[in-house]
Amino acid sequence: MRAGLVGFARSGKTTLFNALTGLHKGGAAGRGQVNLGAIKVPDPRVDLLSGMFRPRKTTYAEMRFVDVPGPAGKGTGLDAEALRALAEVEAFCLVARGFPGADGAPADPAREIADFDAELTLNDQAVVEKRLDRLRKEGHRGTGEYHELERILAQLESGQPLRAMAWSDAEERELAHFGFLSRRPMLVAVNVPEEEAAAPPAPEVEAAARARGAEVLSLCAAVEAEIAELPPADQPGFLESLGLVEPARARFIRAAYRLLDLISFFTVGEDEVRAWTIRRGDTAPRAAGRIHSDLERGFIRAEVMHYDDFVALGSESKARHEGKLRLEGKEYLVRDGDILNVRFAV
């Protein structure tokens, strides 16, 4: 999973990026440039499996982040480098400034949400207009694609992102190659002052995000950066003093999983206990392909037992005996918490 931290300049993207990825430790990521980093997705199930198997290696799922420099303000437009970086991410985390600016400019996160999404929408509009122009020149006015794109253009011209439109599975597939930016799932992180770190987003900010088909949460990037600097033993006390029960990183990851409909499955053994991220609804071969493309190509069957059954019964042989270890074929939809052993031949 790769998410882009996006938004206008000075909203706190790089501060949040450093706090989330821990890059502050090895010299902070550069301001005003594209930065790459990753965070491990905490998962108590991995910890427990690791305790049972005592593997040589334990690997958590990973979420990758790209910190993309944003335009200075509304209408400035996204530069070519930023556009390239945006094109490569599956989802956007829009960081909106919720604290007073250095020049005393009051915060207006609702406005930033609308304005930044408008940049994405304008880019998509240009893509659609270009394609429609081409279809007209080639005499393809009456085609299905032409009508489809006209419908999309109407949405964009009304200032609405494609994210807020219902598409059929077939449309989704046919339109995928356009890589529309305003179609990508969006999580808004309102970067609020320390005093508001524990408060939910203001109703008008919540409404602005919902209107764009986005989810929203509040956090204070400066607080997150401070937490990341503290020794683990001191973190709970610090969080509590701010009225927080956990770092925003944890809420952030959960929100991203929910938004993208992501789930985890596990592989276990003496060598490695590992969590993998897939989309809900992915079949067993597709999940196997996360591990290695050979496992997808040569997929025969998967031995599947669910984490809950395995933990309740305590061993693989017990699970087998109780009929909780099943052989599943190519159509099987992997569930969150499945432990997979893929049989394959290439």
Q: How far is CA 165 from the centre of its chain?
A: 20
Cα–Cα distance measured from residue 144 to residue 132, given in angstroms and rounded to the nearest whole number: 12
Looking at beta carbons only, is 31 or 318 nearer to Mg ion? Answer: 31
Q: Which of ligand GDP, Mg ion, none does residue 121 bind (CB under 5 to 8 Å by kind)?
A: none
- In the complex, least distance from residue 96 CB atom to ligand GDP, rounded to whole angstroms: 10
- In the complex, least distance from residue 30 CB atom to Mg ion, rounded to whole angstroms: 8
Looking at beta carbons only, is 13 or 183 nearer to Mg ion? Answer: 13
Tell me, by CB under 6 A, how many residues bind ligand GDP.
13
- In the complex, least distance from residue 161 CB atom to Mg ion, rounded to whole angstroms: 23
Q: Which of ligand GDP, Mg ion, none does residue 12 bind (CB under 5 to 8 Å by kind)?
A: ligand GDP
Separation of first and last alpha carbons in the chain: 27
Using DSSP's 3-state secondary structure scheme, residue 279 falls into strand
Q: Which of Mg ion, ligand GDP, none does residue 222 bind (CB under 5 to 8 Å by kind)?
A: ligand GDP
- In the complex, least distance from residue 204 CB atom to ligand GDP, rounded to whole angstroms: 20
Strands (DSSP E) found in the chain: 2-6, 35-40, 57-59, 62-67, 91-97, 186-191, 215-219, 262-267, 272-279, 299-306, 326-328, 338-344
Distances (CA, A) of 109 to 76, 208, 267, 286: 18, 9, 42, 39
Quickly list DSSP for 58-102. EE--EEEEEE----SSTTS---HHHHHHHHT-SEEEEEEE-S--T
222 lies in the binding site for ligand GDP (CB under 6 A) = yes
Cα–Cα distance measured from residue 264 to residue 287, given in angstroms and rounded to the nearest whole number: 10
12 lies in the binding site for ligand GDP (CB under 6 A) = yes
- In the complex, least distance from residue 2 CB atom to ligand GDP, rounded to whole angstroms: 18
Looking at beta carbons only, is 70 or 337 nearer to Mg ion? Answer: 70
Q: Which of 151, 156, 103 is nearest to 125 (CA)?
A: 156
In the range 31-50, which residues lie near Mg ion by CB under 5 A? 31
Overall residue count recorded for the chain in this entry: 346
Binding mask 26-55 vs ligand GDP (x if CB under 6 A, - otherwise)?
-----x------------------------
Strands (DSSP E) found in 142-251: 186-191, 215-219
15 lies in the binding site for ligand GDP (CB under 6 A) = yes
Looking at beta carbons only, is 31 or 64 nearer to ligand GDP? Answer: 31
221 lies in the binding site for ligand GDP (CB under 6 A) = yes
Q: Which residue stretch of 5-13, 112-120, 169-177, 208-216 sits at the interface with Mg ion (rule: CB under 5 A)? A: 5-13
Distances (CA, A) of 205 to 108, 119, 188, 208: 9, 18, 9, 5
Among 205, 220, 248, 319, binds ligand GDP (CB under 6 A): 220
218 lies in the binding site for Mg ion (CB under 5 A) = no
Q: Which of ligand GDP, Mg ion, none does residue 35 bind (CB under 5 to 8 Å by kind)?
A: none
Cα–Cα distance measured from residue 85 to residue 92, given in angstroms and rounded to the nearest whole number: 11
In the range 78-137, which residues lie near ligand GDP by CB under 6 A? 99
198 lies in the binding site for ligand GDP (CB under 6 A) = no
Cβ atoms of 27 and 5 within 8 Å: the answer is no
191 lies in the binding site for Mg ion (CB under 5 A) = no
Q: What are the structure tokens assigned to 275, written together?
A: 């969590």
Distances (CA, A) of 31 to 35, 82, 183, 344: 9, 13, 27, 46
| Contact set with ligand GDP (CB under 6 A) | 9-15, 31, 99, 191, 220-222
| Contact set with Mg ion (CB under 5 A) | 13-14, 31
